[in-house]
A and B are shown apart, each in its own frame.
Chain A
Amino acid sequence: MRIPLLTAGSRRARSRSTEDDTDGRTAVAPQWKLVLRRFRKHRLAMASAVIVVMFALVGVFAEFVAPTTPSDYSADHTHAPPQRLHFVDTTDGVDLGLYVHGYESTRDEETLAREFTVDEDHKIPVGFFVRGEPYEMWGLFGTDRHLIGPEDPDERMYLLGADRNGRDMLSRIVYGTRVSLSIGLAGVALSFVFGIVLGGISGYVGGRTDTLIQRAIELLMSIPTIPLWMGLSAAVPREWGPLQTYFAITVILSLVGWTDLARVVRGRFLSLREEDFVLAARLDGCGPARVIGRHMLPSFTSHIIASLTLSIPLMILAETALSFLGLGLQPPVVSWGVLLQEAQNIHSIANSPWVLLPGVAVTVAVLVLNFVGDGIRDSADPYR
């Protein structure tokens, strides 16, 4: 009984891998290597993966990458516009080296708004690994080295402009990268636990349990997410500290976001359950845990990785939306959504459109994560 099943399965597997790729090398390569090889051929996905890694590095080394700290303000530089980074000074002869021009600011008598003009004569040299605002790297040790910044620590540099309090947008976006990306990751990790446990149970056990979990998922999916998120996060007490709020928001995001993942996991489980090799393993007397862990999980890890990658952007978008509304993270925590709160004021947008730049960061991050996720999915299953 067992033997014909196994041969049927292995014959199918063999014929499939020869379809895959005709050379013998591929037929014996492990699954993940195949996926990786196909992924490398995806040019857009590869380029996006590089950008994702850069985002991650920026997030991890935020303190060092940022020219200054996010709370470093200057009352004289309210809504200062972005400066252009010059590479060569040609005013007298050719002088290689980075620099920016300073500002000349005047105050409008009527509106009291500051108006900035570029002061061509005021040259602020910019360098790498310069000393600047002191900070605590990962809360472990103090230092004042920054990847890039004005060589004179007393000068100010606003490559992406300044906000209402004269704080450097670039530095704030860099710090926001850490929070926004990590909340996306944490939210996905948590949804992953929910999704894989419930989806796995649903798909593996089947029957009434499956129906019950599926109904629950359908129910959750039918509630408009934004109002639900809004309702839940409104219940987070205002007096909670930044860390507590951070965790509360993560939990809320994943409470609503696990359903998709659970569906993917369940679908894969259902289709795999019918495959010969799982049946063969079962007839071999493996217990369910072993069947799931050893035989089913590895064969769809790449699908799950793809789904995970594709849900990170959704989390990021949700966090941004909530924080933008003032229901998510609260200042002084800096996330892209929190930064965008400043754009709620129409005069801020009208006079200093660079307050919208955190939104550009959101778009780019979401875009590249989508490309990477799609690339992984295509490589995991080229026939779908």
Chain B
Amino acid sequence: MDTDSDVLLEVKGLRTRFRTDDADVTAVNGANLRLRRGRTLCVVGESGCGKSVTARSILRLIDPPGRIVDGEILLRRDGSDGRPAETIDLAALKPTGRRIREIRGRDIAMIFQEPMASLSLVHRVGNQIGEAIRVHNPMPRRQARQRVLELLDQVEIPNPERTIDAYPFQLSGGMRQRVMIAMALSCSPRLLIADEPTTALDVTTQAQIMDLLVGLQHQQDMALMFITHDMGVVAEMADDVAVMYLGHVVEKGPVDTIFHDPKHPYTRALLDSIPRIGGARRERLSTIRGTVPAPADQPSGCVFRDRCDFVMPGRCDRIVPPPIDLGPERHVRCLLHGGAEPEAEVTTSQEAADAG
């Protein structure tokens, strides 16, 4: 098991809320995450469960009316890059302040969901990447341009000399995402957050982009937080997995244990919905019963109980499941595994094992 010095970023009890005239949406409700150097954490969950909001909260990029109302986001600097070793609580910084700006792009970089909309269409590629370099390492334009060319080459863009002077609307979706990656890597960040970087791309391009990301991660020894709702991608990329549901991290742990021994009914349901090659032809994929409730009216107690096949009436609707420690780096938030009466745990976990 790795030591604590590997931990780059730790999210503790993060709560992000959107307050609008007619509703109060807690998009992230007490999330705990840990990101380690050189490892990939995959965050999975259905659309709207708060993955993007978690990621943006880390970089303090939540637009009003959103606000971090509770929790800590601890960034550990080990002092290897000449800056003093220290631990910074990002949640306590001013979202427009100088401190967080120094962290953005330099310590933590981010790649966004839609490569189409995430680049400015009226500025040249070279300008947008060069700016990202120069904001943290002031250098002459010429030198920055050289560095941009290197970066474009690094993200395997054919013909960097042409691309550098192109506008994003002249590039294909895959190329734009590569440009985004080049931009994110421009200051050699120690953590890269990729928010569904491949969702908008076709399958072949998806695979290429993921290969590229994995390669770069190993090369630079970065931590990678990879957001997706595709369990197939998780199986391929993850070292660790965090499963989110309605703003809660319901289960997390190393990828093997999650796939081979899922504890939370939601995780199990997610795994059941992956099509398997070689599976029985006629067999229908199972889907999860019901739909995600609107974040504004969260159920009391366990948030998943309305759709859960193992719901325990009288308990799940009353007790908010606490995180249960199931071994090193392995947590689940489900009353089936504890947090309620002890005998309940025994019987149902037996049942659960049968079902799984």
Bound CA span A32–B356, Å: 51
Contacts of A22 in B (CB 8 A): 23, 294, 296-297
Bound CA span A56–B294, Å: 44
Give the residue name and chain of the A residue nearest to B23 (CB): A22
Task: Give the distance to chain B from A20, nearest Cβ to Cβ, in Å.
Answer: 11
Contacts of A21 in B (CB 8 A): 22
Bound CA span A18–B294, Å: 9
Q: A-B pairs with CB below 8 Å: how many?
A: 6
Task: Give the distance to chain A from B263, nearest Cβ to Cβ, in Å.
Answer: 31
- A16-52 contacts to B, CB under 8 A, are 18, 21-22
Contacts of B297 in A (CB 8 A): 22
> Interface majority SS on B: helix, strand, loop or mixed?
loop
Task: Give the distance to chain A from B21, nearest Cβ to Cβ, in Å.
Answer: 8
**0 or 1 for each of B284-324: is its CB under 8 Å from A? (1 = yes):** 00000000001011000000000000000000000000000
Task: Give the distance to chain A from B52, nearest Cβ to Cβ, in Å.
Answer: 16
6 A–B contact pairs at CB < 8 A?
A: A18-B294, A21-B22, A22-B23, A22-B294, A22-B296, A22-B297
Contacts of A18 in B (CB 8 A): 294
- B180-197 contacts to A, CB under 8 A, are none
Give the residue name and chain of the B residue nearest to A21 (CB): B22
Contacts of B296 in A (CB 8 A): 22
Give the residue name and chain of the B residue nearest to A41 (CB): B21
Bound CA span A21–B22, Å: 9
Give the residue name and chain of the A residue nearest to B296 (CB): A22
Bound CA span A350–B297, Å: 65
Bound CA span A21–B297, Å: 12
Task: Give the distance to chain A from B118, nearest Cβ to Cβ, in Å.
Answer: 20
Bound CA span A22–B296, Å: 8
When A and B form their complex, which 5 residue pairs have the shortest distance between CB atoms, in order from nearest?
A22-B294, A22-B296, A22-B23, A22-B297, A18-B294
Bound CA span A372–B51, Å: 40
Bound CA span A21–B296, Å: 11
**0 or 1 for each of B14-50: is its CB under 8 Å from A? (1 = yes):** 0000000011000000000000000000000000000
Bound CA span A18–B297, Å: 13
Bound CA span A32–B23, Å: 23
Task: Give the distance to chain A from B25, nearest Cβ to Cβ, in Å.
Answer: 10
Bound CA span A324–B297, Å: 59
Bound CA span A22–B20, Å: 13
Give the residue name and chain of the A residue nearest to B291 (CB): A18
Contacts of B294 in A (CB 8 A): 18, 22
Contacts of B23 in A (CB 8 A): 22
Task: Give the distance to chain B from A382, nearest Cβ to Cβ, in Å.
Answer: 11
**0 or 1 for each of A303-343: is its CB under 8 Å from B? (1 = yes):** 00000000000000000000000000000000000000000
Bound CA span A321–B148, Å: 59
Task: Give the distance to chain B from A40, nearest Cβ to Cβ, in Å.
Answer: 13
Bound CA span A22–B294, Å: 7
Give the residue name and chain of the A residue nearest to B293 (CB): A22
Task: Give the distance to chain A from B185, nearest Cβ to Cβ, in Å.
Answer: 35
Task: Give the distance to chain B from A38, nearest Cβ to Cβ, in Å.
Answer: 11
**0 or 1 for each of A1-14: is its CB under 8 Å from B? (1 = yes):** 00000000000000
Bound CA span A22–B23, Å: 9
Task: Give the distance to chain B from A218, nearest Cβ to Cβ, in Å.
Answer: 25
Give the residue name and chain of the A residue nearest to B21 (CB): A41
- B314-342 contacts to A, CB under 8 A, are none
Task: Give the distance to chain A from B16, nearest Cβ to Cβ, in Å.
Answer: 19
Task: Give the distance to chain B from A254, nearest Cβ to Cβ, in Å.
Answer: 39
Task: Give the distance to chain B from A115, nearest Cβ to Cβ, in Å.
Answer: 57
Contacts of B22 in A (CB 8 A): 21
Task: Give the distance to chain A from B299, nearest Cβ to Cβ, in Å.
Answer: 14
Bound CA span A22–B22, Å: 10
Bound CA span A202–B314, Å: 63
Task: Give the distance to chain A from B196, nearest Cβ to Cβ, in Å.
Answer: 19
Bound CA span A187–B184, Å: 57
Task: Give the distance to chain B from A376, nearest Cβ to Cβ, in Å.
Answer: 19
Bound CA span A18–B22, Å: 14
**0 or 1 for each of B142-163: is its CB under 8 Å from A? (1 = yes):** 0000000000000000000000
- B274-290 contacts to A, CB under 8 A, are none
